[in-house]
Structure 1
Amino acid sequence: MSGPQRIVIIGGGLAGAGAAASLRENGYSGEVLLFGADAHRPYELPALSKGLLLGDAEEPDWVRDQNFYSEHDIGLHLGTRVTRIEMGARLVLDAAGGEHRYDRLLLATGSKPRSLPVRGADLAGIHTLRTLDDALALRAAFAKADRVVIIGSGWIGSEAAAAARRHGAEVTVVGMESTPLESVLGTEVGGVFRDLHTEQGVRWRLRSSVADFVGDEGAVTGVRLTDGSVLEADVVLLAVGAAPETGLAHAAGLELAEDGGVCVDAVLRTAAPDVYAAGDVASQFHPKYGRRVRVEHWANAKNQGEHVAKNLLGAHEPYQRAPYFFSDQYDLGCEYRGLADLDTNRLVVRGELASREFIAFWLDGDRVTAAMNVNVWDAGDALKHLVDTGTPVTDEQLTRGDLSNVG
């Protein structure tokens, strides 16, 4: 047969499983091997910090039905850790001693939660949130906890705070920034989320850092901050960001970018012959932005996984989508499109921040680089158009005009 006879995918998350499914949907009839370290079949991550952690769902959103992989002749190897890539021999080696030849290789190894290198970090009751098992364990812990401390005031920390309050726990969030989500949204919009959580009873310790964890009989009892104060805690969640899983790539000699990801070009191809990367681990030279971009959100993993399948089969199509993510916290829902530079972009708001029904725009000159709709659900297509096209706009058009007719 022409083209690759065997495609190996390392990573059983949304990007890897999506690529495997898309290969079949694009008519590929060769062998597909999909390796996932997780014992569960591929699932999507958003529900882990939302519906599942809240108790509104008992399962995550599965990428495909249980029988999809066997029905489409995809060799799904669950609970299987790949230990080495030998690119010269075109081999993937797993922890059980298996050797698997490839014609094309996709790295979709995702990312892992960062830890804190401080005393007591190994105490029982300290959690991270990345996998289905993590989410189930954390939900059970929240249900029993009186006092929860969350380290990190980003998206995961904020969503987890809402879930812990739903379960009735007292919640304190520790963050190094002056406002939650400041590095993504800036202080003005981030303040909306701060005030929302405050109204729901969340306490903040912002501009604060952790010195160590306090414990008794091997279990956490508190978090000591660098100012010497101690926050009592039955449960602690470390939500201090994630690092791309690049151990295999680094050991194989692939180039890593300054953002920690695997360097890929516009079509998601590494410098190594027939080796590609997608999802959290991929640092792509993005044609829209003219620089490297690494995105850890659900839509990026989904869309890059589906996109790269065509390139694994011989196409040469650049991935050009702008980042997208969404969040739900209490009665606030939002969607963010694009990529703002908070150091240079200016903020324009349609509506009132205090009402929690508004659209925030970030602009470079007269062009929208990013937009976030908060509890406004009829503008998604218009916002996507503005971000994707870079259509010149006036502040008056954004704040008062018909967005569907702009541009």
Structure 2
Amino acid sequence: MSVLVVGASAAGLSTVEALRRKGYQEPITVVGAEWHLPYDRPPLSKQFLCGDWDEDRTRLRPDTMLSALEAEFVLGDPAVALDGRRVHTASGRVLSADTVVIATGLTPRRLPGPELEGVHVLRTLDDAAALRKDLVEAQRVVVVGDGVLGCEIAATARKLGPAVTMAGPQAVPLESQLGPMVGGLLAELHRSEGVDLRLGTAVTGLTDVDGRVSGVQLADGDVLPADVVVVALGAVPATEWLEGSGLRIDNGVVCDAFCRAADGVFAAGDVARWQHEDSLLRLENRTNATEQAACVAANIIGDQQSYRPVPYFWTDQFATKIQVHGVPSEAAEVTVAEGNLDERRFVVHYRRDGRVVAVLGWNMPKQTRLHREHLVHA
């Protein structure tokens, strides 16, 4: 019984590794859109972007470990269609298997309009390399987006020296995700490090001079001068290639509680939206990619396991580490469970209907892990 994994990502590689750990010895093929062997994405906006890491250090596994998996990697050839359990690639290949795992991840959103020099998104290793090259010579950088990725890019860019402005529609960074209190502390952090915040106003477009970006146009009429612009307005599941496949596509590949999208077809990672308790859930983080892949591997070999994680993500901005377990929301009641807000070392609980739904730690990693138990036993 062969397996075909579409996506040479963290989720794709983790699926292969989990299968081999469980004793699966049948053929496995991994199809990747990029030429790069599997690499880690979180460092792209931090260690790699600032130049502390080189490309080799972003690799998830060395060649020896990849070879030991005895999987065939077909790289630089993106999938363009799925017909049953046959995958068609851009080069014209047709690959088939008894089981297909979809792990194609996300596609970053872009601003409408013509392509301009100096405008970047950050999703791939090549994206990060191109942005890093521009940041070295930049004088004025505008980051369009006030979510996790936008905040991380703004922090890294600021450390490299240029003037940095963050623009976005929220009143404070990550407000819709972490609420106004934590978002307000993030705003103070960025301002204290020299990031100019132009929040609460939508971005309507870009200005340019001879095809090179020159500014960011805001809905209130202001233009933020820039020689480098990074668009970090989120991403959408990479499912275009699945049109006509017969799979249910709705903000991702819709799956049952076992991450199964159809008979012999599974999904894992950012692209998967699965039945979680009473609703559909899709998570965009590195931890989920690994944990969901392990569940998929178990179900492929017949160990029926529903996927019921405690969601987790982290973000590093300047010297601050924030860790989040569970699903926080802007509407939740936030209370300090440990530490002190003024000292910027604390753990907070997010409560809805009297139940703890999320735990956030700010520079308290050990204590945050302990507070996770409030979610596990909720």
TM-score range, shorter-chain basis? over 0.9
- Please list, as runs of the form range in 1=range in 2, the aligned pairs for 1:29-108 lying within 5 A after superposition: 29-59=25-55, 60-87=57-84, 90-108=85-103
Given the alignment, which residue of 264, 278, 285 partners 2:268? 278
- Please list, as runs of the form range in 1=range in 2, the aligned pairs for 1:145-294 lying within 5 A after superposition: 145-257=138-250, 260-270=251-261, 272-287=262-277, 290-294=278-282
Aligned 8 A contact 1:92 1:100 in 2: yes
**Does the residue aligned with 1:296 lie in a helix, a strand or coil?**
coil
Partner Cα separation in structure 1 for residue 204 and residue 103 of structure 2 = 34
Q: Percent identity?
A: 37
Partner Cα separation in structure 2 for residue 364 and residue 262 of structure 1 = 28
Describe the superposition over 1:8-47 as per-residue Cα deviations: whole angstroms up to 9, x where unpaired: 0101110011101111111111110000101110111110
CA shift at 1:342, angstroms?
Answer: 2.9
- Output the aligned Cα RMSD: 1.3
Aligned length: 376
Aligned 8 A contact 2:179 2:329 in 1: no
- TM-score, normalization by structure 1: 0.90
Partner Cα separation in structure 1 for residue 96 and residue 166 of structure 2 = 47
Aligned 8 A contact 1:35 1:81 in 2: yes
Aligned 8 A contact 2:16 2:69 in 1: no
CA shift at 1:383, angstroms?
Answer: 2.0
Residue 357 of structure 2 is matched in structure 1 by: 369
CA shift at 1:354, angstroms?
Answer: 2.9
Paired AA for residue 11 in structure 1: G
Partner Cα separation in structure 2 for residue 178 and residue 341 of structure 1 = 15
Aligned 8 A contact 1:41 1:66 in 2: no
2:340 matches 1:352 = yes
Paired AA for residue 341 in structure 2: L
2:298 matches 1:310 = yes
Partner Cα separation in structure 1 for residue 246 and residue 365 of structure 2 = 46
2:2 matches 1:9 = no
- Please list, as runs of the form range in 1=range in 2, the aligned pairs for 1:313-332 lying within 5 A after superposition: 313-332=301-320
Paired AA for residue 8 in structure 1: L
2:16 matches 1:20 = yes
Partner Cα separation in structure 2 for residue 342 and residue 181 of structure 1 = 9
Describe the superposition over 1:97-129 as per-residue Cα deviations: whole angstroms up to 9, x where unpaired: 222121011000100111122x34x11100000
Aligned 8 A contact 1:173 1:204 in 2: yes
CA shift at 1:376, angstroms?
Answer: 0.9
Aligned 8 A contact 1:83 1:94 in 2: yes
Between 1:372-381 and 1:169-178, the stretch displaced more is: 372-381
Paired AA for residue 100 in structure 2: L
Partner Cα separation in structure 2 for residue 239 and residue 44 of structure 1 = 18
Paired AA for residue 46 in structure 1: P
**Does the residue aligned with 2:153 lie in a helix, a strand or coil?**
helix
2:113 matches 1:115 = no
Partner Cα separation in structure 2 for residue 33 and residue 20 of structure 1 = 9
- TM-score, normalization by structure 2: 0.96
Aligned 8 A contact 1:149 1:236 in 2: yes
CA shift at 1:216, angstroms?
Answer: 1.1
Describe the superposition over 1:44-96 as per-residue Cα deviations: whole angstroms up to 9, x where unpaired: 11100111112221135322222333332101111111121111xx3112222
Between 1:164-173 and 1:218-227, the stretch displaced more is: 218-227
Partner Cα separation in structure 1 for residue 349 and residue 167 of structure 2 = 28
Q: Which runs of 5+ in 2 are unaligned?
A: none
Describe the superposition over 1:335-355 as per-residue Cα deviations: whole angstroms up to 9, x where unpaired: 100012432x21111333232
Partner Cα separation in structure 1 for residue 65 and residue 75 of structure 2 = 14
Aligned 8 A contact 2:168 2:203 in 1: no
CA shift at 1:177, angstroms?
Answer: 0.6
Aligned 8 A contact 2:178 2:329 in 1: no
CA shift at 1:310, angstroms?
Answer: 1.1
Describe the superposition over 1:260-309 as per-residue Cα deviations: whole angstroms up to 9, x where unpaired: 11111111001x2111001001111113xx21110011111111112211
**Does the residue aligned with 2:335 lie in a helix, a strand or coil?**
strand
**Does the residue aligned with 1:381 lie in a helix, a strand or coil?**
helix
Between 1:194-203 and 1:371-380, the stretch displaced more is: 371-380
